[in-house]
Amino acid sequence: MAAFVGQPAPDFTADAYLSNGEFGSVTLSKYRGKKVVLFFYPLDFTFVCPTEILAFADSIDEFKKRNTEVIGVSVDSKFTHHAWASTPREDGGIKGVNFPLASDLNKKICADYGVLVDGAGIALRGLFIINKDGVLKHSTINHLDLGRNIDEVLRLLDAVDYTEQHGEVCPANWKKGERAMKPTAASLREYVRGK
């Protein structure tokens, strides 16, 4: 099953290194009732990856306020995740990571979400926002050398909440508390005129 915006997100169960420091598993469908930020990264013990993971970890309270769980996925084993999570930040580690890191050794999750790099066997920097009903609402895929913006992810989560609660659409650069509009030509005209 391929991941398409507006469709149910491909479900999976994977071994994981959990935020409590133990091994376990994560099943995407068990997060129903909450939004999920599912992000893929190339490999543990690399360079851009820890900056992203630590940025997510340092912002976890903002995700929790939005009823959102964060799950990281790479092709590394849960044991490699554990070793990296045990390495101090100043040594390139991600000590203190406070969300699960799933292991996609067989690369099926990466393939299902369209982030698998053929020939290299690693994931591009894919990010997927899944709503509380398990529907994929947003996807972005960055090249390996481009890190993600956590503030933009939070803005998108706010937009998902707003559109689902109010039935309106969020224009470019919309932020929580700003005007949105109804999906009609008349509402667009009012919005553009600043009314």
Q: Cite the active site residues.
A: 49
Neighbours of 70 (CB within 10 A): 23
Under DSSP, is residue 127 helix (H, G, I), strand (E, B) or coil? strand
Amino acid in position 158: D
What is the Cβ-side half-sphere exposure of residue 85, based on CA atoms within 13 angstroms? 25
Strand ranges of the sheet holding 125-130, from the earlier edge strand across to the other edge: 23-27, 13-17, 101-103, 68-74, 35-40, 125-130, 136-142
Element (DSSP H or E) covering residue 16: strand 13-17
- At 163, list the tokens: 């559109």
How far lies 121's CA from each of 26, 100, 111, in Å? 22, 21, 10
Distance CA 181, CA 8 (A): 26
Amino acid in position 62: E
